[in-house]
Structure 1
Amino acid sequence: MDQEEEKKVTARINELYHKKQEQGLTPEEEEERKELHKKFLANFRAGFKQQLEDTVIIDKNGKEVTSERAKRAQRKKGLRKD
């Protein structure tokens, strides 16, 4: 999901939230809210996973201590040459 679509999804989630607080939602709106929430969480998790996979961890002695799982993901993406 690109940034523009993410903004639209977030805005609609917020709109439905406020409507729910004020007067309640129809069954269709409740279903839409659930689907948008799932979409938002999936996008968030994908971005978070990407960020973790791209992170290199160095300890205080200057030694790399990145997990093997992250190293494999980085190699697969061509970010590592070791």
Structure 2
Amino acid sequence: MEQKKIDRINELAQKAKTTGLTEEELSERAALRREYIESYRRSLVAQLDNTYLVDEKGNKSKLRKKD
């Protein structure tokens, strides 16, 4: 996610604490938050896809998803 969008999320959060947000700003904040969460999830999944477990014998096994 672009730093500009993260800065906008922070601006809206600060404004919500001080003066409140309009309906348009609320929907913008919600959309930006969804985008941020999706970006975070993609990053976490990518990191976990490259994670290996090493047992006591030194054997590596790929981390698997739970069903």
| TM class, shorter-length | 0.7 to 0.9
When normalised by structure 2's length, the TM-score is 0.85
Give the structure 1 partner of residue 58 of structure 2: 62
Aligned pair 1:41/2:54, yes or no? no
Q: Which has the higher contact order (CA 8 A, sep 6+)?
A: 2
Question: For the residues of structure 2 that align with 1:28 and 1:36, how far apart are their CA atoms?
Answer: 12
Amino acid at match of 2:27: E
Secondary structure, counterpart of 1:25 in structure 2? coil
Amino acid at match of 2:11: E
Consecutive unaligned residues in structure 1, runs of 5 or more:
70-82
Structure 1 13/63 Cα, relative in aligned 2: closer, same or farther at 3 Å?
same
Matches within 5 A, 1:1-80: 1=1, 5=2, 7-68=3-64
Please list every run of at least 4 consecutive aligned residues from structure 1 whose deviation after the TM superposition is greater than 6 angstroms: none
Question: For the residues of structure 2 that align with 1:52 and 1:28, how far apart are their CA atoms?
Answer: 36
Question: For the residues of structure 2 that align with 1:42 and 1:53, how far apart are their CA atoms?
Answer: 16
Question: For the residues of structure 1 that align with 2:33 and 2:44, how far apart are their CA atoms?
Answer: 16
Report how many residues are paired. Answer: 65
Q: CA RMSD in A?
A: 1.5
Q: Which has the higher strand share?
A: 2
Q: Which has the higher helix share?
A: 1
